[in-house]
């Protein structure tokens, strides 16, 4: 019997989330004007490049869950990081913590820049 798993654990975790492809984001934000865009990268990453409407809540910070749990549970949230690894984890925490309207930017900021460029982003502090 083989110990290999045909489905990577990462893909399994991500498959349990509401993932938005890059091409779906603009329509999603138009349809959900009150959605909160959360950048869950570290401060130095956020300060280099980000979506202008994003707020910063560092997934790796000690107080991450404290700040997340202060948000309204019935809000709509779109999370992103560089590649969607941290945002996948953050979305999973939020989903398990009772936030039903949490979305993950599939591929993260890196995929956005590759597909759309960086003209819609803010660079620098």
State residue 58's pLDDT score: 98
Q: Classify 49 as helix, strand or coil.
A: strand
* Within-domain flag for 1: no
Domain for residue 42, yes or no? yes
Neighbours of 12 (CB within 10 A): 10
In a domain, 4, yes or no: no
Q: Whole-prediction pTM value?
A: 0.90
In the prediction, which pLDDT does 7 show?
A: 62
**DSSP strand pairing (18-20 vs 55-56):** unpaired
What are the 10-residue block averages of pLDDT along the chain, 125 residues in total? Answer: 62 88 95 97 96 96 97 98 94 96 97 93 84
Residue 80 domain boundaries: 9-123
Look at residues 34, 18, 24 and name the one whose alpha carbon lies nearest to residue 95. 18
Residue from 103, 104, 105 nearest 120 by CA: 105
């Amino acid at each position: 019997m083989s110990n290999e798993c045909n489905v990577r654990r990462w893909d399994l975790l991500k498959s349990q989330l509401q993932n938005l492809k890059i091409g779906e984001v603009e329509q999603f934000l138009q349809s959900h004007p009150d959605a909160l865009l959360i950048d869950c990268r570290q401060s130095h990453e956020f300060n280099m490049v980000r979506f202008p409407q994003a707020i910063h809540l560092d997934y790796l910070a000690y107080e991450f869950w404290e700040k997340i749990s202060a948000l309204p549970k019935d809000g709509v949230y779109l999370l992103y990081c560089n590649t969607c690894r941290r945002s996948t984890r953050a979305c999973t925490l939020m989903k398990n913590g009772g936030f039903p309207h949490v979305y993950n930017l599939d591929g993260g900021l890196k995929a956005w820049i590759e597909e759309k460029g960086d003209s819609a982003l803010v660079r620098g502090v």
